[in-house]
Structure 1
Amino acid sequence: MSNEQPRDSEQHIRKIRWRLVLGTGTEDVLGGLPNEWCDRDAAMGFLYNREYGAGRNVRQGGRGNEGDEGGERKGSLDPSQLTVPDWINAVHELFPRKTIERLEKDALERYHLEEMVTNPDLLSRAQPSQTLLKAVLRTKHLMNQEVLAMARQLVWKAIEQLMEKLARQIQSPFTGTVNRQRRSFLKIAKNFDAKTTIRRNLKHYDPGTGKLYIQTPYFYSRMRRQVDRWQIIILVDESGSMLDSVIHSAVTASVFFGIKALRTHLCLFDTSVVDVTQDCTDPVETLMKVQLGGGTDIGQALSYAATLVDNPRRTIVVLITDFYEGAPIDRLFAVTKQLIESGVTLLGLAALDEQAEPNYDRAIAQRMVNLGAHVAAMTPGELAEWVAQKVQ
């Protein structure tokens, strides 16, 4: 009995793989696909349904090229089709690296699906969005210089939209509280001091008309929290599964860099560490340096962070990773313990994006918590609140 189950399972997986290769129409022989494989089937169909022409069989469920001879255009109730950016993102999320490389090779060389990597006219008409941003970051290594320059403009537009959305959320915890003992010459409506304004302008009251004329309005100042240049060291895992977090980390670090009370460092890592602090004010430049994929050495990243620490008790290390360590695990725990015992505050984030839905190695994260680290999944606004509370 115990020997049959693995064989059945292996045969089932083999059938699923053949079903993906052969496409729809083979269900009677191979059976249907489990739900978790349907997205893979759709992604493969987007590319390989193009595999037909005069005298060749059409993979059932596919849609023909409109220019094919004898092709007949018909309306249908088929599911909505993937766009090229959607397809690129789906492929990178659904398949292992070797499969991705083969799919991209076939897309470019066999089917000439070149819209995203060779056609600047198409890119110039594309609407900036986070979906498009991710697709560009995943395929920039395939682009020629002309297309890369156009793609960089799209990345900038998409980042501008994200900055407008997130900047206020990140900055507001650091703006301080109203100081009612100190006047300010900055005329900001929310700091208007009505009581002082009325009292000091009473000499301009006109009994005849019953009106008080305000010649000099008065405003409160705002008191900045006492944060004596805390260090924030942000380490970002640039593996493909962390792309949303990489994008939001670049924006968050850029905003942090503009807060004078903080000294911000930003580093990207896989099996090596790249310090991109000099590009902190330009999240586009930071993102264009991202190299997705590869291994993961979290311990080495934390070791590098340790070399940047000036005052451990005024330092926060924000480690953004899925905690799937590829290097020896003992070194990761050793450097974690060393940092925490020195007085550094270590925050591990399994996700930093608008959804904050983590997928991570819970066992490794828990062992780091046992050593004194904090582990969470946060939005950029929540991270800013957390940092602001720590540095008060």
Structure 2
Amino acid sequence: MRPTDRWRLVLGRYAQDRLPPAADARGPRYEAALDYLYGREYAGRGGRGDDGGEGPPPEPLPGSLDPSAPSVVDWLGEVRELFPRETVETIERHALDRYGLTELVSDPEVLARIEPSEELLKTLLSLKGHLDPSVLGEVRRVVRAVVEDLRRRLEKEVRAALTGRVSQHRHSPHAVAANFDPRGTIRANLRHWDAAGGRLVVERPLFFQRNTRRIPWEVVLLVDQSGSMVGSVIHSAVMAGILAGLPAYRLRLVVFDTSVVDLTDLATDPVELLMTVQLGGGTDIAQAVEYAAQVVENPARSVVVLVSDFCEGGPPSRLVAAVRRLVEARVTTIGLASLDGTAHPSYDRRMAQDLADVGMPVAALTPGRLAEWLAEVTAR
């Protein structure tokens, strides 16, 4: 693409009379597709008119500032045809987050055309309480696609951390590529060395056995469902689904805002869990911690994981006291300011420090790092 063609994409409608026509025959389609969305940037700004003086913003293209649902459908189809997938996801995210193009999540036909992504799921969960019932089928499709993708990427890593490290002293009859013992396999098959062909014939490959611990640890996962925690809620749901399938752990899943809801029965079904949570509202973290103290049966073999931004709506002293009581009861605790793929949190650092001072360390972890931490804690 020529530099002038790139500038045409940047300038949109303002390049029409100032730059030569695009060399690519599809150039006008690229320009129109981008201008349909990004032309909104000039709406109401009172920018420069075409004559170079101060004046009202240029007139919008027909339908560009207040599109009907069918025009959004056509626009989405055009974007998906013209641009690579990564660009499409960026454009869709801007349409939702920057320009409030809610037609993308309020019309079933439009929603059906959007590529499922974690960013789209965050938007849908944030708006779930306001969505028309007609789109809930498509919402569930997006939830399922994102959850399955996350679980596929996380499950191997999490299970490997939580079901034991490879034992280099014992072999297993189960052939698992990740547990392959190359040195042991060579030693066990040296008698099959083919000197003429210069190769080793492997008749019996060896695989390490994993150490497993079946200590009855209780894991109480407390998840803040305030609006700012949507990414962590998604990863917590997937993490809970994986933990619930491991026999060495007994999981209790609790979500909270100003109320506490025990969703342990849904822990094995992340899709239904995410369709159930209600993001937004106030936050009473102390109440959730107090609930955890009530359900813990064996404090010395219990872990409480608090996923929150630590923006406490109630008296901070009550939350600090509740955490202190858990620690004094010998419950292992950790606070997570973020549990997602980026671990870049925004949280109340003063509150987090107060909790750390009474024995609850606070960190931002990915699900894989949380699994490693749990493995270390429960290995003792």
Q: Take 1:214 and 1:115, find their aligned partners in 2: how far apart are those partners?
A: 57
Task: Note if contact 2:96-2:104 (Cα within 8 Å) is conserved in structure 1.
Answer: no
**Structure 1 match to 2:140:** 152
**Is the aligned partner of 1:122 residue 2:110?**
yes
Task: Note if contact 2:283-2:313 (Cα within 8 Å) is conserved in structure 1.
Answer: yes
Q: Secondary structure at the match of 1:366?
A: helix
CA deviations over 1:70-113 (Å, ceiling 9, x no partner)? xxxxxxxxxx999565454458xxxxxxxxxxxx8xx8xxxxx5
Question: What's the offset of the Cα at 1:180?
Answer: 4.4
**Is the aligned partner of 1:235 residue 2:232?**
no
Q: Take 2:42 and 2:289, find their aligned partners in 1: how far apart are those partners?
A: 41
Question: What's the offset of the Cα at 1:304?
Answer: 0.8
Superposition TM-score, scaled by structure 2 size: 0.72
- RMSD between aligned alpha carbons? 3.4
Change in Cα spacing, 1:85 to 1:139, as seen in structure 2 (3 Å) is farther
Change in Cα spacing, 1:360 to 1:115, as seen in structure 2 (3 Å) is closer
**Structure 1 match to 2:270:** 283
Q: Take 2:111 and 2:103, find their aligned partners in 1: how far apart are those partners?
A: 11
Q: Secondary structure at the match of 1:274?
A: strand
Change in Cα spacing, 1:375 to 1:174, as seen in structure 2 (3 Å) is same
Question: What's the offset of the Cα at 1:212?
Answer: 6.6
Match of 1:142 among 130, 137, 155: 130
Q: Secondary structure at the match of 1:338?
A: helix
**Structure 2 match to 1:321:** 308
Q: Take 1:132 and 1:212, find their aligned partners in 2: how far apart are those partners?
A: 52
Task: Note if contact 1:86-1:131 (Cα within 8 Å) is conserved in structure 2.
Answer: no
**Structure 1 match to 2:342:** 355
Q: Take 2:378 and 2:89, find their aligned partners in 1: how far apart are those partners?
A: 49
Change in Cα spacing, 1:191 to 1:82, as seen in structure 2 (3 Å) is closer
CA deviations over 1:357-391 (Å, ceiling 9, x no partner)? 22221222111111111111111111111111111
Q: Take 2:193 and 2:307, find their aligned partners in 1: how far apart are those partners?
A: 60
Q: Secondary structure at the match of 1:187?
A: coil
Change in Cα spacing, 1:62 to 1:379, as seen in structure 2 (3 Å) is farther
Question: What's the offset of the Cα at 1:168?
Answer: 2.6
| 2:105 counterpart letter in structure 1 | M
* Alignment gaps of 5+ in structure 2: 1-36, 45-54, 66-87
Task: Note if contact 2:167-2:208 (Cα within 8 Å) is conserved in structure 1.
Answer: yes
Task: Note if contact 2:166-2:208 (Cα within 8 Å) is conserved in structure 1.
Answer: yes
Q: Take 1:206 and 1:81, find their aligned partners in 2: how far apart are those partners?
A: 55
Q: Secondary structure at the match of 2:60?
A: coil
* Alignment gaps of 5+ in structure 1: 1-41, 50-57, 69-79, 92-103, 108-112
Question: What's the offset of the Cα at 1:223?
Answer: 1.8
Change in Cα spacing, 1:294 to 1:186, as seen in structure 2 (3 Å) is same
- Residues 27-38 of structure 1 mapped to structure 2, 5 A cutoff: none
Q: Secondary structure at the match of 2:253?
A: strand
Q: Percentage identity across aligned positions?
A: 42
**Is the aligned partner of 1:60 residue 2:48?**
no
**Structure 2 match to 1:366:** 353
CA deviations over 1:5-37 (Å, ceiling 9, x no partner)? xxxxxxxxxxxxxxxxxxxxxxxxxxxxxxxxx
Change in Cα spacing, 1:85 to 1:147, as seen in structure 2 (3 Å) is farther
Question: What's the offset of the Cα at 1:298?
Answer: 0.4
Task: Note if contact 2:334-2:362 (Cα within 8 Å) is conserved in structure 1.
Answer: yes
Task: Note if contact 2:162-2:374 (Cα within 8 Å) is conserved in structure 1.
Answer: no
Task: Note if contact 2:126-2:280 (Cα within 8 Å) is conserved in structure 1.
Answer: no
Q: Take 1:198 and 1:126, find their aligned partners in 2: how far apart are those partners?
A: 51
CA deviations over 1:133-190 (Å, ceiling 9, x no partner)? 1111122223333310111011111121222222233222124233344442212234
The size of the alignment, in residue pairs, is 312
- Residues 209-288 of structure 1 mapped to structure 2, 5 A cutoff: 214-224=202-212, 226-288=213-275
Task: Note if contact 2:161-2:371 (Cα within 8 Å) is conserved in structure 1.
Answer: yes
| 1:164 counterpart letter in structure 2 | R
Q: Secondary structure at the match of 2:252?
A: strand
**Is the aligned partner of 1:331 residue 2:318?**
yes
